[in-house]
Amino acid sequence: MKLTDLFPLNHIRQGIACASKKRAFELIGEILCNEFTDETASETDTQAQENPCTECLFAREKIGNSALGGGVAMPKGRVEVGDKPLGAILQLNQGIDYDADDNREVDLIFSLIIPASLCEDCSALLPKLIALFSDKAFIKQIRAATSAEEIFAVLQTQDNALDEPQTASQTEPQNEPQSAPQGE
């Protein structure tokens, strides 16, 4: 799955002022709530219940801290509705206390919400995302971005790099014997 599919432009916030992990989860819930609503619930039921995205992030965070280190966190959660995984990116203008193992404040949050029916299908995706979000060069580009559009462009570049077909010289070693020069 492409990063730009997981994190569409309208789910990216740059330069956000946020005072706590709780508020960050609430912001993520606000960004994603319309994507993961139970269409069978009445409007009053929907207004009365908590945001399912925010709830699932808090529930999952109780199991274990989602900080990856280096000022980056990847909170994730599972909801009962939805037909595709979606995420949100928050680039904070100032780091927040996140109880990270490295004691560093978090200023980049890559959140992912996965419908329960797709959790098994997405199990291979999570380690790849964790590796990418731990890559210092990638994170440096995200931190340097000054708009949501620039962050999205970094995601597009990463998607394009993953889509480029490898040439035979990149995938197969060149073990062909070279012919000796022939005399006249």
End-to-end CA distance of the chain: 58
**What is the C-alpha to C-alpha distance for residues 145 and 164, in angstroms, rounded to an integer?**
24
Whether the predicted pLDDT of 165 surpasses 70: no
Length of the chain: 184
Minimum mean pLDDT range among 41-45, 67-71, 72-76: 41-45
Q: Are 58 and 139 in contact (CB under 8 A)?
A: no
Whether the predicted pLDDT of 42 surpasses 90: no
Q: Band of the pLDDT at 164, cuts 50, 70, 90?
A: low
pTM: 0.81
Looking at residue 174, its pLDDT comes to 46
The label of the residue with tokens 């040439």 reads 167
User: What three-state secondary structure class fits 6?
Assistant: helix
**What is the C-alpha to C-alpha distance for residues 51 and 37, in angstroms, rounded to an integer?**
9
Q: Band of the pLDDT at 38, cuts 50, 70, 90?
A: low
Q: What does the mean pLDDT of the chain come to?
A: 84
